[in-house]
Chains A and B, each alone.
Chain A
């Protein structure tokens, strides 16, 4: 069985050493336990990335669904959980560094170059963060509390499979 037999790939993004940016890593470690069987049976593929954007490009191998988990700054209250389909994400355009090349641009590139590897549905689960310039012990209480809710949300998305609207929890 190859990786492409998996139905869902979950990509968690973040820096485990930096306050609210560690949210993606924390969720990744919890999902490892929760989805242990699904991962071993290759129903779900779980990946961790230090950076998002173009680094997730080589990870996609033809799964039907992709869930991207990351700390975000959309201007909401810290701890807010955003559930956003990829085509509703803001387009970064040229005015952003390659480091910050957005998920949406990455998917657009993938659809042109390797359409057979692109998932049919992509959902961003974004955890609104506030502190990105201090070390891990300074993770804000709101983000720490939201991690459990984000894990529950991801489990629900996986179980329902699709049809999520753009939601702010």
Chain B
């Protein structure tokens, strides 16, 4: 190995990470990867806390997907207490969650990936940001940010707080719907639905335009892998159901309940990153993908008119199953359509007016629950003693499960856009974009204000021979 290229930090992802690209003496790729150098230790922080605080506490793990943790923790506590939340509570949890999906996918598509799509990968990084989008296309930006706000408002009304919801609890939910609140939410959902005829073609157009300019993304950024997602009534589901695993061809390999996750999901450590990798352990060890595209590949049906129609369009361009890294943006768009339609269905389901809580008591034992976070399957596993105190915790998050595929995508981006190229900015942009397609969430607790420079060091024989700084 002769040369190392490092990108530090990677920008517009949640959290802090850097990238290394190691080259052989002849300039060919040796390996590449994402190094996560954060360690927050939440699993240890939880030990000794009261179990019923878990939905409240674990929501703080991340500022972008708090509702995913909030619901996964609630499901885990339901399991531990041996209860099932009443149908009305499950519908209200799901309504909160659909608001969260609308909010999170809007952020991901328009704020995190939008600058790459609107400004182009070759644009000056100084303008390739969300302020640049607003200046370049204010009408799209206004609509997109309004959609994000609507999602957040639904999440806030049902969840009690926009960013860190508090209403879902063991045995149900403390939020009570009334006709006034229903009308407010219905108006938001109607407004969101009315935006789709504008937003949908605009985002698809931007994505296809980016592919025209960078055909390698279509021809070379292909990462066949297994996939995992949650299924209920043979359609995509986000807060309840069984887990379905598919292979590279899309064939279902197994369906299992989440409490059996440790039979199939194999965690392992690497010596160059704090993040643990997860592989699927069934008839051998397999890399697998989670998230919107994995869910679509596994279930192929949402059960609502517009989302299913758009999924058909998706398959015409991306195939079935789809393994195109950049199409994960398109998958988020389809899922966002479904979240809007599903919100409408939930609001008008008569079962939403029933009881919302059942009493719970922890007798001691294990509590396992999950949700399909915006970025993929999220599992909470607690050991709870007979006094209701957490004695052990294990959390498996989406980005861990995508880690192997992310590293493969970095290698593909390095091959197509870095090796043999002299344009430093193209190098930075392409590799970062490949990572952002997975929308990795490394989670930040702090919000320091200040500049975070982007830097690549090229080293030879252990000495830095070139530095690229943004």
Q: Which residues of A contact B (CB under 8 A)?
A: 13, 15, 17-18, 21, 49-55, 57-58, 70-74, 89-103, 105, 108-109, 112-114, 126, 132-133, 135
- Residue B384 at the chain A interface, CB threshold 8 Å: no
Closest Cβ–Cβ distance, residue A80 to chain B (whole Å): 14
Bound Cα distance A109, B132 (Å): 9
Determine whether the beta carbon of B445 is less than 8 Å from that of A109.
no
Contact partner of B451 (CB less than 8 A), chosen from A92, A108, A113, is A92
Could you tell me which residues of chain B, from 434 to 470, have a CB within 8 Å of some CB in chain A? 444-454, 470
- Residues on the A chain within 8 Å of B125, using CB: 93-95
**A73-B449, A96-B451, A100-B452 given. 9 additional CB < 8 A pairs?**
A54-B130, A72-B448, A93-B129, A93-B451, A94-B129, A98-B130, A99-B447, A126-B449, A133-B445
Given known pairs A55-B152, A73-B446, A100-B444, the reply for A95 and B470 (CB within 8 Å) is yes
**How near does chain B come to A54, taking the closest CB pair, in angstroms?**
7
Q: Which chain A residues lie closer than 8 Å to B135 at the CB level? A: 112
Report if A51-B63 is in contact (Cβ < 8 Å); known contacts: A93-B451, A112-B134, A113-B142.
yes
A49 touching B447, Cβ below 8 Å: no
Contact A55 B450 (CB under 8 A): no
Query: Which B residues from 275 to 314 make CB contacts under 8 A with A?
Result: none
Q: A50-B161, A99-B64, A113-B138 in contact; A94/B450 too (CB < 8 A)? A: no
Residues of A with C-beta under 8 A to B161: 50
B455 to chain A, nearest CB (A): 10
Q: Is the CB of A105 within 8 A of B130?
A: yes
- Chain A residues with CB under 8 A of B444: 97, 99-100
Nearest B residue to A134 via CB reads B45
> Is the C-beta of B55 less than 8 angstroms from some C-beta in chain A?
no
**Which of the residues A17, A89, A99, A126 comes within 8 Å of B63, measured between beta carbons?**
A99
B13 is an interface residue with CB less than 8 A from chain A: yes
Contact yes or no, B445 A74, CB < 8 A: no
Give Cα distance in the complex from A58 to B162, angstroms: 11
Q: Which residues of A contact B152 (CB under 8 A)?
A: 55, 58
With A72-B449, A105-B131, A113-B138 as known contacts, state yes or no: A98 contacts B111, CB within 8 Å: yes
Write 11 A-B pairs (CB below 8 A) sorted by A numbering. Answer: A15-B60, A15-B445, A50-B164, A55-B152, A57-B149, A73-B446, A90-B450, A96-B12, A99-B15, A105-B129, A112-B134
Judge whether B60 and A73 touch: CB under 8 Å.
Answer: no
Q: Which of A93, A94, A135 has the most CB of B within 10 A?
A: A94
B128 to A94, Cβ gap below 8 A? yes
Name the interface residues of B116-147: CB closer than 8 Å to any CB of A.
125-126, 128-132, 134-135, 138, 141-142, 145
Q: Which residues of B sit under 8 angstroms from A133, Cβ to Cβ?
A: 40, 445-446
Task: A163 to B382: give the CA distance in the assembly, Å.
Answer: 53
Q: Is B376 interfacial (CB 8 A cutoff)?
A: no
Is B163 part of the binding interface, using a Cβ–Cβ cutoff of 8 Å?
Answer: yes
A86: shortest Cβ distance to chain B, in Å?
A: 11
Check B447 against A51 for contact (C-beta < 8 Å): yes
Please determine whether B12 and A94 come into contact, CB atoms closer than 8 angstroms.
Answer: yes
Bound: A103/B131 CA distance, A: 12
Select which of B60, B129, B451 is within 8 A of A90 by beta carbon.
B451
Listed from nearest, the 6 A-B pairs whose CB atoms lie closest are A50-B163, A94-B129, A132-B446, A73-B448, A98-B111, A51-B63
Q: A96-B11, A112-B138, A133-B40 are in contact. Are A52 and B130 (CB under 8 A)?
A: no
- CA–CA, A22 and B451, complex, Å: 23
Give the residues in chain A near B142, CB-CB below 8 Å: 113-114
Let me know if B57 is at the binding interface, CB within 8 A.
yes
Q: Which residues of B contact A95 (CB under 8 A)?
A: 9, 11, 125, 451-454, 470
B112: chain A residues at CB < 8 Å are: 97-98
Whose C-beta in chain B lies nearest to the C-beta of A126?
Answer: B449
**In the assembled complex, which residues on chain A have CB atoms less than 8 Å from the CB atom of B11?**
94-97
The 8 Å CB contact of A49, one of B57, B163, B445, is B163
Residues of B within 8 A of A17 (CB): 57, 60
Establish whether residues A70 and B447, one from each chain, have CB atoms under 8 Å apart when the complex forms: yes
- B147 vs chain A, min Cβ distance (A): 12
Whether B229 is near chain A, meaning CB under 8 Å from some CB there, is: no
Q: Across the interface, which residues of A come within 8 angstroms of B107, CB to CB?
A: 54, 98
CB within 8 Å for A74 and B452 given contacts A51-B63, A99-B64: no
Task: Give the distance in Å from the alpha carbon of A100 to the alpha carbon of B63 in the complex.
Answer: 10
Cβ B12 vs Cβ A97 within 8 A: yes
Q: Is B259 an interface residue (CB 8 A)?
A: no
A89–B149 CA distance with the chains assembled, in angstroms: 25
Q: Taking the complex as formed, is B14 at the interface, i.e. its CB lies under 8 A from any CB of chain A?
A: yes
> Once the chains bind, are B141 and A93 in contact (CB under 8 Å)?
no
Q: A105-B131, A135-B45 are in contact. Are A74 and B111 (CB under 8 A)?
A: no
Taken together as a complex, chains A and B put the C-alpha atoms of A132 and B148 apart, in Å, by: 28
Q: How far is the CA of A17 from the CA of B164 in the complex (A)?
A: 11
